[in-house]
Structure 1
Amino acid sequence: ILIPLTCVGILPMSSMEKRFHPPSLNLKECLKSAEHISSSDPDFRILEDGSVYTANIISLPSEEKTFTILLKDIQRHEEKKIHVNLLVHQKKTHKTRHARDTVLRRTKRRWAPIPSSMMENSLGPFPMQIQQVQSDTAQNYTIYYSATGPGIDRDPKNLFYVERETGNVFATGPVDREQYPEFKIIFFATTADGYSPEIPLPHTIRIEDDNDNAPSFTQDLFTFVAPEHCKPGTVVGQVTAEDRDELYTLHTALKYRIVSEEPPFPKMFSVHPESGVITTLTSQLDREIIGKHLLLIEVRDMAGQPFGLCNTGTVVINVKDVNDNAPYFGHSSYDTKVLENRVNVEILRIPCLDKDEPNSPAWNCRFSIVKGNDDNHFAITTDGRTNEGILCVVKGLDYETTNLRILEIAASNEIPYVVVPYSSGLAQSTCTVRVNILDDDEGPVFKPCLLPITIDGCAAVGTAVGKYLAEDPETGNSEGIRYRIAPGQSNWITIDENSGELRIAKLFGNDLIGRQCNITVLAVDQSEYKCTGTVLATIGACDRDYPVVTPREFIMCRDRKPVYITAVTPNESPYSAPFRFDISDRSMDSGWQTVQQDDKSILLSPRTDIPYGIYKIPVTVRDNKGRQGTSVVSVNYCDCTTPSDCGTVRQVSPAVTLGVWAILAMILGSLLLLLILITLCGCYGTGAVSKHVPDDLANQNLIISNTEAPGEEVMDPNIIPLQTATVNSCDQGVGMGTIGREVKTGGQSFEMSKGGHQTLESVRGYGQSTMEQGRYSYSEWQNFMHSRLGEKVYMCRQNEENKHSEDYVLPYNYEGRGSLAGSVGCCSDHQEEEVLDFLDQLEPKFRTLAETCVKR
């Protein structure tokens, strides 16, 4: 029979055969491009046409034989499997049955079949039968089969089902083994009336793995370090990969190999095919030749077979430097010259070359004078930036004694030299320096030859950082010597031509912070003799002052008017405004808030209602460069109307400037109040007025009211009544313009002017019965005011030309019609009987004021 696309076949054969020729299998239905066909059982052989043959004499079991046919497409990396079940037919034997041979024999029950399996990603056709369950009780009953479990009535639902009458188990679609490796199902055998002659049957459907997942590396890029000139076999690192297919099978049997290496020759590394460990092949790793190697590594499953799935990853191997290159000089000898008697002057810079990694201990040079300096006239140091040797004269040389000195200079590194394979021992590198001593008339000399200075990294432009002076050896002074920076030197520092003062020319960038710079300075005297010196400038960290808050103590009244906070700093741009303010304490931040006013100030106010008290609020201020400082601001939240009520200094707020119109309005208001007082003096100051106005009219109180209606009479004894006095002369009228300087409540004095000390209580006595009622009699008020007004008139006469004792002509804005009250000059004295009649014709504002003074 032909094997269908389900890749499951059943072939009949007898129990004992030497050769078996079953019908051909249709292999093209499973894999049309199959290039390799093999069998999992060596006793069977499959030809390309699908024919199956026995390869050996075999003895088959009594029921069935199972094996697998494997189809592979090597080029396309595809693989398919065909599972074959061979059913064994027993040969019938005829013999005579005797009664004694008749024995009841129980056949083997089929209710517990072996676990069934299904190939992952099977192509069908579906539904595809994968198993059959049967019960021996079907001989006696009509049995119906059912099942439950994953794949049937649990997720993934409806993937399998069992035929009710036959017990055949079918799959409805393909399965991903990586998601569902097996299904444990329980089968039931019942009769039509619900009787269960069999116990439930647990059954496992195992999903066989298909190599459908390629291995992948655990990292996108592996980076390792290999020591320079290390021995062969040195472990560099290990790469790892993962495969989602079934473990302990060929599908997850991974093999590693190096696909390519850059540079390609010579080969420097190898990878263990199973562990992924990378080791060196030779000891020829040389950082100075190749400092970085790139490896492309492949991982392949199926134990590295060509048809296995694969993936690649990249490995970077950096070569670690060792001191395998000794420093050397560019020339074997150097010539220089120096004037006699010069001290601490630089006479030569000697370059030192090294192939090792720059700015590493294997590259940094150290110089020494090994010959020709027995008298210690010379010294040599290293320029850390250029790796040059700086040769200086530290003791004066005498031309008359010798005009030539020969020095031998040696160079070495900070760490010892390493002898690597295939290299020979290395002698110390040396050079010869010929120092010619010149006869001189003692030109200028820098003292010292090398001047170390430290500069603040935040120094502003123009900041003086030191002086570097040269002096005439003969006179010992620096007069007439001019200075300049040698051409090609740093442009961030300048030197004053006459004073030798060093100043900052521009702000430092981050690239200069923490570095050392050598600056060559030239000095020229009046005879045009020159000398050079070196300034070793170390640029330190930025150490500027932090912005702070000033002032730090404030008073906030019950109206909770925001506090105006300003930050200051002595620094200049960029370490200055704009500032950024924050409340550093989180607990305070929840109760207080800030609003930015400008670049240097904020408004601080509480977010919600808070109790009265003193609050300490830490405020952090950051400048334009992010440098910050914290100041503690003290806010006294007081139950007051004005800050002065709390007994401390008022808060310093931004200045308020009054315009011309505001000042003019204040002056006109004062003149209007003066006019009203003079009018009232004229109304109540005559005998005629006394006839028509009762005496207790003078006892009325002035009530401050926010409405335009007349205020009610106030009987509180703590409020002092303000009343007018009889005016009988021009001089007294003038004095009325100065009363009312200060009013104090609660039984205190009613101060009438700055110059007087007599109070109303001192005139009439304190504690009388009228005081208890909060009233004063007309006579008491008149006696008090008469003396006080006289004193004021006397003071006015003392001024120059008696000008203050004269009547004033006050200009007022014309409101459209004349006043029915007539003159309101200080000398007016109304004696008419109906002196108060004009109040009925006044403007509303004047009428309201008059009504507050009249008892209804």
Structure 2
Amino acid sequence: MAPAAPRAPRLFLGLLVLSLCCEACKKVIFHVPSELEAGTLVGRVNLKECLQSAELISSSDPVFKILEDGSVYTTSVVSLSSEKKTFTILLKDIQEHVEKKIHVNLVADEEKTQKTRHARDTVLKRTKRRWGPIPSVMIENSLGPFPLQIQQVQSDTAQNYTIYYSASGPGIDQDPKGLFYIERETGNIFATRAVDREQYPSFQIICFASTPDGYSPEVPLVHTIRIEDDNDNAPYFTQDVFEFCVPENSKPGIIVGKMVADDRDEPYTLHTTLKYRIVSQTPPVTPVFGIHSDTGVITVLSPQLDRELVSKYTLLIEARDMAGQPFGLCTTGTAVITIEDTNDNAPSFKNMQYEAWVEENRVNVEILRISVVDLDEPGSPGSGAVFEIIRGNDDRSFEITTDRNTNDGILCVAKGLDYESSKQRTLVIAVNNEAPYMLAPHSRQLAQSTSTVIVHVKDVDEGPVFKPCFLRLEVKDCEQMGTLIGRYLAEDPETGNSEGICYRIAPGQCNWISIDEKTGEIRTTKVLDRDVGDMRRGQCNMTVLAIDRSGKTGTGTIQVIIKPGNKNYPRIAKTEYIMCRDRKPICLTAQDADESPFSMPFVYRVADRSLSASWKVTRHNDKSAYLSPKGEIPFGKYTIPVSVSDNGGKQGVTYITVNYCNCDTPSDCSEDHTISPHVFPRADPNVTLGVWAILAMILGSLLLLLILITICGCCGSGVMHRQVTDDCANHNLIISNTEAPGEEVMDHNVIPLQNTNDQGGYGIKTGDQQTFEMVKGKGHTLESIKGGGHQTLGSVKEGGGQPMMDTCRYSYSEWHNFTHPRLGEKVHLCRQDEEQKHSEDYLLSYNYEGKGSLAGSVGCCSDQHEEEALDFLDQLEPKFRTLAETCVKR
């Protein structure tokens, strides 16, 4: 038979953090055939004797599977071959953190092996099996009699064996315990009492078939007992009261809300098929709502929803199962529907005409309250009144607002009224709502409600009135004290003239303006200057008082504005500049304390005619200009008068000092940058040393020092007979890219060069043939062959002009004194000529020519005499032979 799927043990997802107390509680021995097929019941272990609440049940050997009732099955074929097989059942209680083990030993039994084989042959011959019945059905709330047989299970192996039946699972040995049992010999399943389907809709029990000795020829059967539903539960509404809202004047078909009921009986049966209906409506007027019988959705039936008539409806709703049939169970629920207000009632005035009185010149005073009637819900936007003066308020003398507490209109005076101008004012006021008006169905459009208000103006004795009430006066800057700038007069409204009126300026006003007490003339009390005191603001606002004979006072405002004047001339702030030999133009920037239009644009020019021939000013923008020389000028300091004129024609002269310096940047300029003619006889006296020139002098001095060290190292002291070394050769050969034999290398223009590791070198070539050469002979001195002065290093050292014996050992100071004037002169002449002629005397770089020759030096510094053998030249490599032949003196 096919194995039934046992209930899988629950899996615990997560990590067990706390350690479990693990112990072995017992050992179990099963006598089984030596060969077991997959799905064979090995035996049953009482797990609860070891651990009452085992949440995880597992086997140490995957060949064996453990069910919740303790049944042990094989998952694959097992062959014992008369040997013991041992595995462990592991039980875990996650909540209590307990772990226990059951050791199981399988012992092969020969008798059972033969019996099993015989049974297997018998099973293969049968054609009909009854071990898998259909699920059983038990009616809910059955009246019995009990015990009530509900099913019978039988195994086909009962034809060959004595079979005993047993069962476990919910309803048998699990809650609700004792509800079912199975007869051991017949396999009949009985129920002992009635069952509530809503509590236990079905049961799954495991049925076992085994021989008296404990062998199970069948896989356990999982049998389902389904409890058939009985209509024992009436429907119920999910809420005690359902509350809905719908706007008044809603159209038929508008959804109001949905009633929701439920039933605990079996879903998708007649026991839970509900029907809804409206039982009653309060107030009992014409029905205005309907309900969908299947869905419970409430909708509007009548268009006559008027909140002003009925503001709330209460519906009693019935829900009945069995599809609404009379024998079905039913319940009732309540729905309360509130009618929301809409602005379907226009406001109207209680009175069509009002009268009010106010004294002239009164401001911000309430003169009238106007009441309106509105049937819409109080406090809602549909009833909130909004008033508007639609006629008679062109000058904005009146304002009307709404009192939110009473919904009345409040009429106020915003500007003082003049009795002499108008003794009476007529206003037309209209009223609307905050929300837009909505016309109710089957209603006519109403005209906007209006009311007329007649305002009577009372005459009072008024004070003087300035005309105009605000006077603006302009005065020029620099006006003298006592200047008349205007007149400000007031009139008596009653008489229309200015007689008997006195004028004063209210205290705390600006102190540079005064007003005549009788005539109202306005004069200056100080010289006006926008740069002094409170006149810097450029204006003054004053309150003027006008007082009549009766002591009545009127006020007016004067604004005096000081117009800017052209009292300042432009000045150049920075007056000292440094101009280097690149003659970069100097940017001049002027400032003017005046305001527009007496400031920019500025006009610059050189004020001195004699200097305008050599200096020029070029416009940059409205504020600045460039100053630069027109042609060649000598270095030195220049003082240039520059005239600057503003837009108003005001002119000022500023003297600009320009230090024209022989420098690269202004920071390099100092007093000793100008070169005097006696410093370098061959150089231009105006030429100064730059950064690169000084660097070249230092490099040249170091180069000559290295030449001296090389010569001394090669030559030694006196006349010495030694082999020429590679270093001496490298320091005397000029490395070049010439591929053909050159000129006679013994010429005195050849300069010793320094070469470090044969990576190329630098040579100095002088245009005036003033060079030094190590001459073979007694003295080993440096002699100027083609120089004009016939000055040798030896003569410099000894202070005379005669050569002397020496060992090529000279101090640095002696070499420096000899070479510095000549080399410095050449370096300073570099790049001074536009044709770059002097740049030929600069340092020249030569490319790499290879390693040094094994023959050593073949230059002029060799200390070998002409009569000594030069056999080593015969062993030179081919590429050096041509050079050797050229260098040997013939």
Taking structure 1 as the reference length, the TM-score comes to: 0.37
Normalising to structure 2: TM-score of the pair? Answer: 0.36
Larger Rg: 2
